[in-house]
Structure 1
Amino acid sequence: MGKIIAIANQKGGVGKTTTSVNLAASLGVLEKKVLLIDADPQANASSGLGLDVETVEFGTYQVLEHTIDAKDAIVKTTSPNVDIIPAHIDLVAIEIELVDKQNREYMLKKSIEQIKDDYDYILIDCAPSLGLITLNSLVASDSVIIPIQCEYFALEGLGKLLNTIKSVQNIHNSNLDIEGLLLTMFDSRLRLSNQVVDEVRKHFSSMVFDTIIRRNTRLGEAPSYGESIIAYDATSKGAINYLNLAQELLKKNL
């Protein structure tokens, strides 16, 4: 049975989509069957894997609306063993449309029930908010990876996210685990980066992944070519970091 992992943080620019795309690609290269669900209206995970989001006919919006089956929204990517349910800007509207629906927090969970056995891992790239789409993602997931950038306001808002996770555990999904906190955008030359690492490790010790994602130019370039870092430059620091993360995740889930 596939493990469903949400990649979430309501702060923008912390490396959620970069992590979703490149962790999916790394797990695929390690011969795991992966589905990436783009649950962010900005649709960066979809374009980051080479899809033209303007031409997306079916995606996360229709899956959440239950107007089509999840399996009919799945698109193959050029990344080995990686499929995607893409997003489109119309996903923005779902927050309003679901508001007065019954069991609105369970829409995604219900939709992906039928496909979760087809994959080893299902990764959900969440929007930078704690709205209804992110709530649906957390309710549908077995665990959550929280990217934290090694910069000044790193821990700001983390308490709020942890409280949201706690209330999801209490009310909707008692099985939701924290898979781990992932330190991103690390620059070893900056004292601040090192301080953030020490701080996060001091407060959250065993919850923090050993793998740290370093700042890497190639990592920033890859999405503009519609490729994961593995396809774009497999020898780069970014590719090595994400392959290490994938291996660490697999070891954790043996």
Structure 2
Amino acid sequence: MGKIIAIANQKGGVGKTTTSVNLAASLGVLEKNVLLIDVDPQANASSGLGIDVDAVEIGSYQVLEHTKTAKEAIVSSNAPNVDIIPAHIDLVAIEIELVDKDEREYMLKKAIAEIKDEYDFIIMDCAPSLGLLTLNALTAADSVIIPIQCEYFALEGLGKLLNTVKSVQKIHNEALDIEGMLLTMFDSRLRLSNQVVEEVQKHFSDMVFDTIIQRNVRLGEAPSYGESIINYDVSSKGAVNYLNLAKEIIKKNL
């Protein structure tokens, strides 16, 4: 049975998409069967795995609307063992369209129920907001990974996100678990980076992954080639970090 993991944080630029794409690719390389669902209208996770976003005719929008099945929306990516349900800018409209639907928070959960058992891991890249799209992802997920960048405002907004997780647990998905907090964009030369790591580990101890994602030029370059860091430069620091994260998650879910 597949483990469904949402990657969420309402702050933009914390490494959600980078983590979604590269964690999926790393799990794939470690011979896990992976589905990446792009639930962000920016569709960066889709283009980051070589999908031509403008040509997407069936994607997460149609799946959430229930006009197409999840099976119909799945396409292969350029990463080994990784399939994807891509996104399109259309997805922007979904929050308005679902507003008056019954059980609108459960649309994604219902849609992926039929394919859940076909994958070892299903990774969902969430939009940088706490709107209906992210709510759908958290309701469908078994757990959530929260990326936190090692920068000045790192912990700002984290309380809000944890409150959202709590209310989802209370109302929509009592089994939702926090898979872990992932420290990203770490630069060991900066005192601030080290302070953020200390602070997060002090406050959240067991909830923080051992793996820390370091700031890495290659990691920033890979998406412009439509490739994961594993395809783009497997020997880079970024690839090593994400492979370590994938191993940590596999070990945790044995």
What's the TM-score, normalizing by structure 2? Answer: 1.00
By how many angstroms is 1:121 displaced?
Answer: 0.2
SS at match of 1:249: helix
SS at match of 1:6: strand
Residue 58 (1) aligns with residue 65 (2):
no
Residue aligning to 1:121? 121
Residue aligning to 2:217? 217
By how many angstroms is 1:103 displaced?
Answer: 0.2
Residue aligning to 1:33? 33
Residue aligning to 1:235? 235
By how many angstroms is 1:78 displaced?
Answer: 1.4
Counterpart amino acid of 1:230? I
By how many angstroms is 1:20 displaced?
Answer: 0.1
Superposed CA offset, 1:194-236 (max 9, x none):
0000000000000000000000000000000000000000000
SS at match of 1:68: coil
Residue 89 (1) aligns with residue 89 (2):
yes
By how many angstroms is 1:156 displaced?
Answer: 0.2
Alignment of 1:149-228 (within 5 A): 149-228=149-228
Counterpart amino acid of 1:161? L
Residue aligning to 2:244? 244
By how many angstroms is 1:149 displaced?
Answer: 0.1
By how many angstroms is 1:90 displaced?
Answer: 0.3
By how many angstroms is 1:242 displaced?
Answer: 0.1
Distance 1:15 1:23 in 2: 11
Distance 1:70 1:50 in 2: 20
Distance 1:142 1:200 in 2: 23
Counterpart amino acid of 2:215? R
Distance 1:253 1:115 in 2: 19
CA RMSD of aligned residues (A): 0.2
SS at match of 2:251: helix
SS at match of 1:203: helix
By how many angstroms is 1:84 displaced?
Answer: 0.2
Residue aligning to 1:21? 21
Residue aligning to 1:112? 112
By how many angstroms is 1:17 displaced?
Answer: 0.1
By how many angstroms is 1:48 displaced?
Answer: 0.3
By how many angstroms is 1:26 displaced?
Answer: 0.1
Counterpart amino acid of 2:131? G
What's the TM-score, normalizing by structure 1? Answer: 1.00
Counterpart amino acid of 1:30? L
Counterpart amino acid of 2:241? N
In structure 2, list runs of 5 or more residues that go unmatched.
none
Superposed CA offset, 1:56-87 (max 9, x none):
01000000000011000000011100000000
Residue 103 (1) aligns with residue 103 (2):
yes
Superposed CA offset, 1:32-72 (max 9, x none):
00000000000000000011100001000000000011000
User: Which ranges of 4 or more aligned residues in structure 1 deviate by more than 2 Å?
Assistant: none
Residue aligning to 2:140? 140
SS at match of 1:125: strand
Distance 1:8 1:241 in 2: 19
SS at match of 1:78: coil
Equivalent residue pairs, number: 254
SS at match of 2:37: strand
Fraction of identical pairs, as percent: 83
By how many angstroms is 1:104 displaced?
Answer: 0.2
Distance 2:119 2:231 in 1: 21
